[in-house]
């Protein structure tokens, strides 16, 4: 799988970097008829998805959105590729000023701490405050998550997000998009008249546009997650804004198009290509380009 893709958003470049691969069982997607969607399945009968992180250098600030799974193999997923992917685009961990975590699931925070120390040695870490109670304070749960977040807390690195429309850096705003987790945030990149949305896990896969009733087993509040997705789709349809999410196949960027009673995702940039700068297409019933293969 390609480990990065990139798009231009006005005067900014937004780079998607892949930390590894999740291999999910079919029952992870609750309510999806796989008989009608064999294209979702890899040879092993599982759904293979990347572990996306996003790099934005804006106004002298380097921001990383999501921090992958880390250098581990947990059976259903393995990470480890983020440092090399960062290096390949000319950034080192110590260059990162801010890490924004869309939420506190382990595949979004894994690299925050390595060998007991903050891996991004100069970074402030932003995350939705509402996730702390469930993923750090509550008994049980993922012990690595607790360790990572408590290490950062002790190191004074955390700056939680509350509310909506929070400015993170020039051209980067956090939007509260609850449901997948209660403290889930999406990110809006804007420059000039261009916009791109990084939806974290608020949207698990582009097919949820056309078949809005299935959901990921990891959604903490599936009903709220569905309402959030619907609101996002309505806002995005025909807007010309680019959209991506942490686990979209090939970490592709695309647009939400409509027409003829159908709403769908049109992949506009294949992995490894930087989008040529130009006016955004919007609306209509443009035929989508072939989606890049997952693997
Ligand atoms: Zn995830």
Encode pLDDT of 4-24 as tens digits. Answer: 688 999 999 999 999 999 999
Mean pLDDT of 143-164: 98
Neighbours of ion ligand 1 (CB under 5 A): 107, 201
In whole numbers, what is the pLDDT of the chain averaged over residues?
90
Residue pair 12/6 in contact (Cβ under 8 Å)? The answer is: no
Residue 3 has pLDDT above 90, yes or no: no
Cα separation, 50 vs 85, in Å, equals 13
Given the structure tokens 């925070």, which residue do they identify? Answer: 109
How many Å lie between the centroid of ligand 1 and the Cα of residue 74? 14
User: What pLDDT does 4 receive?
Assistant: 62
Domain 4-269: which topology?
Metallo-beta-lactamase; Chain A (3.60.15)
Cα separation, 263 vs 100, in Å, equals 30
How many Å lie between the centroid of ligand 1 and the Cα of residue 105? 6
User: What pLDDT does 65 receive?
Assistant: 98
How many Å lie between the centroid of ligand 1 and the Cα of residue 280? 28
Residue 70 has pLDDT above 90, yes or no: yes
Cα separation, 116 vs 148, in Å, equals 8
Phi-psi bin for 270: left (phi > 0), alpha (psi -120 to 50), beta? beta
How many Å lie between the centroid of ligand 1 and the Cα of residue 22? 9
Q: Give the start-to-end residue ranges of the domains of the chain.
A: 4-269
Residue 37 has pLDDT above 50, yes or no: yes
Mean pLDDT of 26-49: 95
Given the structure tokens 């693997």, which residue do they identify? Answer: 295
How many Å lie between the centroid of ligand 1 and the Cα of residue 51? 7
How many Å lie between the centroid of ligand 1 and the Cα of residue 273? 24
How many Å lie between the centroid of ligand 1 and the Cα of residue 294? 16
How many Å lie between the centroid of ligand 1 and the Cα of residue 281? 29
Q: Is 151 exposed, middle or buried (0-12, 13-18, 19+ CB in 10 A)?
A: middle
How many Å lie between the centroid of ligand 1 and the Cα of residue 65? 12
How many Å lie between the centroid of ligand 1 and the Cα of residue 253? 17
Three-state SS for the chain is CCCEEEEEECCEEEEEEEEEEEEECHHHEECCCHHHCHHHCCCCCCEEEEEEEEEEEECCEEEEECCCCCCCECCCEECCCHHHHHHHCCCCHHHCCEEECCCCCHHHCCCCEECCEECCCCCEEECECHHHHHHHHCCCCCHHHHHHHHHHHHCCCECCECCCCEEEECCEEEEECCCCCCCCEEEEEEECCEEEEECCCCCCCHHHHCCCCCEECCCCCHHHHHHHHHHHHHHHCCCCCEEECCCCHHHCEEEEEEECCEEEEEEEECCCCECCCCCCCCCCCCCCCCCCCCC
Confidence of residue 138 (pLDDT cuts 50, 70, 90): very high
How many Å lie between the centroid of ligand 1 and the Cα of residue 285? 30
β-bridge mates for residue 49, sequence order: 22
How many Å lie between the centroid of ligand 1 and the Cα of residue 200? 7
Cα separation, 18 vs 110, in Å, equals 13
How many Å lie between the centroid of ligand 1 and the Cα of residue 149? 17
How many Å lie between the centroid of ligand 1 and the Cα of residue 138? 20
Residues 6 or more apart in contact with residue 208 via CB below 8 angstroms: 214, 215, 229
Encode pLDDT of 195-210 as tens digits. Answer: 999 999 999 999 999 9
How many Å lie between the centroid of ligand 1 and the Cα of residue 50? 9
Residue 273 has pLDDT above 60, yes or no: no
Residue pair 267/254 in contact (Cβ under 8 Å)? The answer is: yes
How many Å lie between the centroid of ligand 1 and the Cα of residue 143? 17
Encode pLDDT of 172-182 as tens digits. Answer: 999 999 999 99
Confidence of residue 99 (pLDDT cuts 50, 70, 90): very high
How many Å lie between the centroid of ligand 1 and the Cα of residue 34? 21
How many Å lie between the centroid of ligand 1 and the Cα of residue 66? 9
């Amino acid at each position: 799988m390609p480990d990065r893709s990139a798009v231009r958003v006005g005067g900014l470049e937004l780079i998607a970097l892949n930390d590894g691969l999740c291999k999910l069982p079919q029952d992870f997607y609750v309510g999806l008829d796989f008989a009608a969607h064999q294209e979702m399945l890899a040879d092993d009968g599982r759904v293979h998805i990347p572990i996306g992180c996003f790099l934005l250098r804006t106004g002298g600030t380097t921001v990383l959105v999501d921090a992958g799974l880390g250098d581990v193999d947990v059976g259903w997923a393995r990470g480890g590729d983020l440092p090399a992917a960062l290096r390949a685009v000319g950034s080192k961990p110590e260059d990162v000023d801010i890490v924004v975590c869309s939420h506190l699931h382990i595949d979004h925070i894994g690299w925050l701490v390595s060998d007991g120390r903050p891996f991004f040695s100069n970074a402030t870490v932003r995350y939705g405050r509402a996730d702390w109670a469930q993923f750090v304070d509550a008994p049980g749960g993922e012990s690595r998550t607790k360790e990572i977040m408590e290490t950062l807390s002790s190191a004074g690195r955390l700056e939680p997000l509350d509310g909506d429309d929070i400015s993170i850096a020039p051209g980067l705003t956090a939007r509260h998009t609850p449901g997948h987790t209660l403290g889930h945030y999406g990110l809006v990149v804007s420059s000039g008249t261009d916009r791109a949305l990084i939806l974290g896990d608020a949207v698990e896969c582009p097919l949820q546009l056309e078949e809005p009733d299935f959901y990921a087993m990891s959604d903490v509040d599936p009903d709220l997650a569905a309402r959030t997705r619907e609101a996002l789709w309505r806002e995005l349809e025909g807007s010309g804004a680019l959209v991506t999410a942490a686990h979209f196949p090939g970490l592709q960027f695309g647009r939400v198009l409509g027409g003829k009673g159908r709403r769908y995702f049109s992949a506009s940039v294949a992995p490894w290509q930087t989008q040529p700068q130009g006016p955004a297409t919007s609306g209509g019933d443009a035929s989508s380009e072939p989606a890049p293969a997952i693997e």
